[in-house]
Amino acid sequence: MRMTDLIAKKRDGGVLDTEEIRFMIRGYTDGSIPDYQMSAMCMAILLRGMDDREVLDLTMSMMHSGEVLDLSPIEGVKADKHSTGGVGDKTSLVLCPMVSACGLKVAKMSGRGLGHTGGTIDKLESIPGFSTSLTEEQFFDNVNRHGIAIIGQTADLAPADKKLYALRDVTGTVPSIPLIVSSVMSKKLASGADVIVLDVKCGDGAFMKSPEDAEELARSLTRIGRLAGRKCAAIITDMDQPLGFAVGNALEVEEAIRVLSGQEEGDLLELCLVLGSCMLTEAGFAASDGEAREMLLDAVRSGRALDKLAEMVEAQGGDPEALRHPGRLPQAAYRYEVPSRVTGTVSRIHAEAVGLVSMKLGGGRATKTDTIDPAVGVVLQRKLGDPVQAGDSLATVYASDPDRGAEAVALLHDCFEFSDGPVARPPFIRKIVRD
């Protein structure tokens, strides 16, 4: 078999068979197929597409390019979630303890972030003492004992995806549905959960700009998950502003605590209730979304959801008291308000730009080796549709040095747009995809 022939076949609109796809992924992972041939193939796939069988074969080949976790030593139904990315996205910190408090097992591997703010692992590591690197035995044991553990993704999980994603990033081939689906699902399937829910972001700053494309991606993700024998659901959410209020690692942990203790409502809680309902119904723990929602709200109101987060933190070496007394989390030395220059209604908050401000404060990485400052970031004081008077604070900046703080204040002014009249928001949750 020759890679040149496979590239030409896909270029001319052909359908690759199972053996051809296996050959391609095996060869690319072991280095016998070079980057230039694989980039040509990625572009051919982006332009010509793939049918479901091809996407499933590609996903399975990438999944089997490295370690495949067998979660069978963990009793019960194991659930996982994935988000296609978003600024201020601390969903896992809220959702995982909520569903675990309802009896689902959460054995989750998460990544670090590159750009914007950190990933779930960086956020959790802002809790003093918290360890995200457990042995497999400790990981399974913690989930069996406490119902939940979140650790860093091992280097050997879907290595074909690691290589391919880096290649796609620099060859204009990221926004291809077959390539996104195989990338996401190879990792999720290798992580071993029975139930997988996916949060597909739509809009400016998301991979999928239009609702139609987001729906096509969501349907393809769930179809491939089901064909691979897992229970799967996806929801499509708008990314027209940061999720919740906080953007920055320890600040996002504080926000997660507020939501889990019932002190904050809004888009973040709503997202977790909808994703959590999908998880509980797919797992057969609830007969309807309404029943699942009540179970989740009860976990929050009773304090069980926050207790579950504290239990996980303690089991992974962290200080559970930091959740009851957030002053124990890393604190920034300087705080600045961003006073509005106008009176009106907030009509837009550029999510990506807010993420970049947090990154410049030190809350995210520009390169893989950068270290993160867990204390810094931005907390929005106004969200889309909120009225504002000139002089009101739009956001608070948390900085570790005054120069970066002043720069962040100046940049944040440009992240907001205003209108004179009321602002209608499209529904935040656009669609739930279950078939």
Using rule CB under 6 A, residue 251 touches ligand URA: no
Using rule CB under 6 A, residue 183 touches ligand URA: yes
Instruction: Please pick, among 187, 258, 308, 350, the residue that the annotation labels catalytic.
Output: 187
In the residue annotation, 82 being an active-site residue is answered as: yes
Residue 360 CA to residue 164 CA, distance in Å, equals 28
Closer of 185 and 376 to ligand URA (Cβ): 185
Using rule CB under 6 A, residue 120 touches ligand URA: no
Closer of 228 and 297 to ligand URA (Cβ): 228
Instruction: Tell the smallest beta-carbon distance from residue 62 to ligand URA (Å).
Output: 11
**CB-nearest residue to ligand URA:** 183
Using rule CB under 6 A, residue 121 touches ligand URA: no
Using rule CB under 6 A, residue 184 touches ligand URA: yes
Q: How far is CA 314 from the centre of its chain?
A: 24
Residue 188 CA to residue 21 CA, distance in Å, equals 20
Radius of gyration of the chain (CA): 22
Instruction: Please pick, among 100, 176, 182, 183, the residue that the annotation labels catalytic.
Output: 183
In the residue annotation, 110 being an active-site residue is answered as: no
Total residues at the site for ligand URA (CB under 6 A)? 7
Using rule CB under 6 A, residue 39 touches ligand URA: no
Instruction: Tell the smallest beta-carbon distance from residue 213 to ligand URA (Å).
Output: 13
Using rule CB under 6 A, residue 106 touches ligand URA: no
Instruction: Tell the smallest beta-carbon distance from residue 266 to ligand URA (Å).
Output: 25
Using rule CB under 6 A, residue 84 touches ligand URA: yes
Q: With helix as H, strand as E and coil as C, how does the chain read? A: CCHHHHHHHHHCCCCCCHHHHHHHHHHHHHCCCCHHHHHHHHHHHHHHCCCHHHHHHHHHHHHCCCCCCCCCCCCCCEEEEEECCCCCCCHHHHHHHHHHHCCCEEEEEECCCCCCCCCHHHHHCCCCCCCCCCCHHHHHHHHHHHCEEEEECCCCCCHHHHHHHHHHHCCCCCCCHHHHHHHHHHHHHHCCCCEEEEEEEECCCCCECCHHHHHHHHHHHHHHHHHCCCEEEEEEEECCCCCCCEECHHHHHHHHHHHHCCCCCCHHHHHHHHHHHHHHHHCCCCCCHHHHHHHHHHHHHCCHHHHHHHHHHHHCCCCCHHHHCHHHCCCCCEEEEEECCCCEEEEEECHHHHHHHHHHHHHCCCCCCCCCCCCCEEEECCCCCCEECCCCEEEEEEECCHHHHHHHHHHHHCCEEEECCCCCCCCCEEEEECC
Using rule CB under 6 A, residue 189 touches ligand URA: no
Instruction: Tell the smallest beta-carbon distance from residue 378 to ligand URA (Å).
Output: 24
Closer of 207 and 336 to ligand URA (Cβ): 207
Instruction: Tell the smallest beta-carbon distance from residue 174 to ligand URA (Å).
Output: 6
Binding mask 270-309 for ligand URA (x = CB under 6 A): ----------------------------------------
Site for ligand URA in 150-169 (CB under 6 A): 165
In the residue annotation, 161 being an active-site residue is answered as: yes
Using rule CB under 6 A, residue 239 touches ligand URA: no
Please, are residues 230 and 196 in contact by the beta-carbon 8 Å criterion? yes
For residues 369-403, one letter each, b for 16 or more C-beta atoms within 10 angstroms of the residue's C-beta and e for the rest, the string is: eeebbbbbbbbbbbbbeeebeeebebbbbbbbeee
Closer of 183 and 220 to ligand URA (Cβ): 183
Instruction: Tell the smallest beta-carbon distance from residue 179 to ligand URA (Å).
Output: 6
In the residue annotation, 183 being an active-site residue is answered as: yes
- Given 41, 180, 375, 379, the residue binding ligand URA (CB under 6 A): 180
Closer of 188 and 382 to ligand URA (Cβ): 188
In the residue annotation, 168 being an active-site residue is answered as: yes
68-76, 175-183, 265-273, 361-369 -> range binding ligand URA (CB under 6 A): 175-183
**Closest alpha carbon to 376 in 254, 257, 253, 249:** 249
Closer of 165 and 428 to ligand URA (Cβ): 165
Residue 240 CA to residue 264 CA, distance in Å, equals 20
Instruction: Tell the smallest beta-carbon distance from residue 230 to ligand URA (Å).
Output: 17
Please, are residues 220 and 410 in contact by the beta-carbon 8 Å criterion? no
Instruction: Tell the smallest beta-carbon distance from residue 168 to ligand URA (Å).
Output: 7
Instruction: Tell the smallest beta-carbon distance from residue 84 to ligand URA (Å).
Output: 5
Binding mask 193-222 for ligand URA (x = CB under 6 A): --------------x---------------
Q: Which residues sit at the interface with ligand URA, rule CB under 6 A?
A: 84, 165, 179-180, 183-184, 207
- Catalytic residue IDs: 82, 161, 168, 183, 187
